Amino acid sequence: MSSFANLVVNEWFKLTKKRSFFVAFFIMLLMPLGIAFVMKNFMTDMELTQIGFLQSIIDFSGGGSVFVFLCMIYAASIVSGEHQLGTIKLLLIRAHSRSKILASKLVALLLFMLVLLLYSLLVGLLVYFIFFGFGNLDGSWFEVVKASAYTLVYTIVYLSIIFMLSILTKSTGATIGITFCIIFLEGVMTMLLSRYDFAKYVLFFNTNLQVYENGTPPMEGMSLGFSVAVIAIYLIAIVGIAFYVFKKRDVA
Distance (Å, rounded) from C-alpha 194 to C-alpha 217? 12
Distance (Å, rounded) from C-alpha 238 to C-alpha 243? 9
Q: What is the pLDDT of residue 93?
A: 61
Is 0.85 topped by the overall pTM? yes
Distance (Å, rounded) from C-alpha 128 to C-alpha 110? 27
Angle at 74 between CA 68 and CA 77, to 5 degrees: 140
Range of the domain at 176: 2-248
Q: What is the pLDDT of residue 175?
A: 82
Q: What is the pLDDT of residue 67?
A: 92
| 3-class state of residue 196 by DSSP | coil
Mean pLDDT in order along the chain per 10 residues (252 residues)? 82 83 92 89 77 88 86 82 62 72 90 95 93 75 91 94 87 81 79 84 90 82 93 96 86 55
The answer to whether 131 and 48 are in contact (CB under 8 A) is no
Distance (Å, rounded) from C-alpha 122 to C-alpha 126? 6
Q: What is the pLDDT of residue 84?
A: 63
For the chain, give the longest Cα–Cα distance.
63
Q: How many domains does the chain have?
A: 1
Distance (Å, rounded) from C-alpha 223 to C-alpha 211? 10
Q: What is the pLDDT of residue 1?
A: 57
